Amino acid sequence: MARIWDKYLTEDEQEWIAARKRPPFDLSERRMALIMVDVYRGGFGDKPEPLLESVKSWPWSCGENGWKALPRIVELLDTCRACDIPVVHITMRDPSDGLVGWIEARNRPSPSARVTTPVSDQMRRATRIIDEVAPKPGEPVIEKSAPSGFWGTPLIGHLQYLQVDTILVAGMTTAGCIRSTVTDAVSHRLRIVIPEECVFDRIEASHAMTLFDLHYRCADVMPTDQVLAAVRSHRQGASADEGA
């Protein structure tokens, strides 16, 4: 099966990968949750536009890549909801709250300098989850101040309460907040599944090679259709067990 990262690898590297034995992809005995990372307005803008055009109004935008991924993200979300899989939404905190987040800390000239950048209405809109995947009642929304959805948030406590051992991860950006969230999830001994078409970034090479790194180090990066089939089968199996 061809993978998105294949064209960036040498022949020797591909042979090494082929020789590796990976555990089989199987969600049948897993307790899952879907983690929606940063599916907010700032990553999309108000309409599909080329990256260089979109960033003029939305500096965090991924251009058209987010809009291309959105139908598969919606399909994944709808499927998980239909199969009673818990959903958690992660977004950046409203930058007007007075806290110093990782972006402000990175951009300030010195630790003692005050952050005085005014927060516009559009900046506040940027952190709002887009309507297409709006949280439903009972679905937690966690605001973060770092790339990882786990750092300084109650996410791991919530997952432990639900007895979740596997997370499905969707959203943006692959090389940024997705990578950070997945890396922290590994530290918490969670299994991670990334539906390939449900994550996106600004630069194809970075997106592809980050998926490669995650797949061969700590996660299962799988075609979305395969993940959806596994989720549906998991629910069907659960229903059969309940009726036995």
Residue 15 counted as domain residue: no
Average pLDDT, integer, range 2-7? 93
Residue 62 contacts residue 214 (beta carbons within 8 Å) = no
179-187 vs 204-217: helix axis angle to the nearest 10?
10
pLDDT tens-digit readout, 28-68: 889 999 999 999 999 999 999 999 999 999 998 999 999 99
pLDDT band (50, 70, 90) for residue 141? very high
pLDDT of residue 107: 61
Does pLDDT of 71 surpass 50? yes
Does pLDDT of 21 surpass 90? no
pLDDT tens-digit readout, 159-174: 999 999 999 999 999 9
Residue 4 counted as domain residue: no
Average pLDDT, integer, range 229-233? 94
The parent domain of residue 174 ranges over: 28-243
- Give the pairing of strands 166-172 and 141-144: unpaired
Tally the domains of the chain.
1
Residue 169 contacts residue 193 (beta carbons within 8 Å) = yes
Average pLDDT, integer, range 104-132? 71
Q: How far apart are CA 121 and CA 133, in angstroms?
A: 21
pLDDT tens-digit readout, 181-226: 999 999 999 999 999 999 999 999 999 999 999 999 999 999 999 9
Does pLDDT of 238 surpass 60? no
Residue 21 counted as domain residue: no
Residue 218 belongs to a domain with what CATH number? Answer: 3.40.50.850
Q: How far apart are CA 36 and CA 229, in angstroms?
A: 19
Residue 104 counted as domain residue: yes
Task: Report the predicted TM-score, pTM, of the whole model to 2 decimal places.
Answer: 0.89
pLDDT band (50, 70, 90) for residue 244? very low
Does pLDDT of 100 surpass 70? no
Q: How far apart are CA 167 and CA 104, in angstroms?
A: 29
Residue 200 counted as domain residue: yes
Task: Give the DSSP H/E element, type plus range, for residue 235.
Answer: helix 224-243
pLDDT band (50, 70, 90) for residue 93? confident
The number of CA neighbours under 13 Å toward the Cβ of 112 is 0
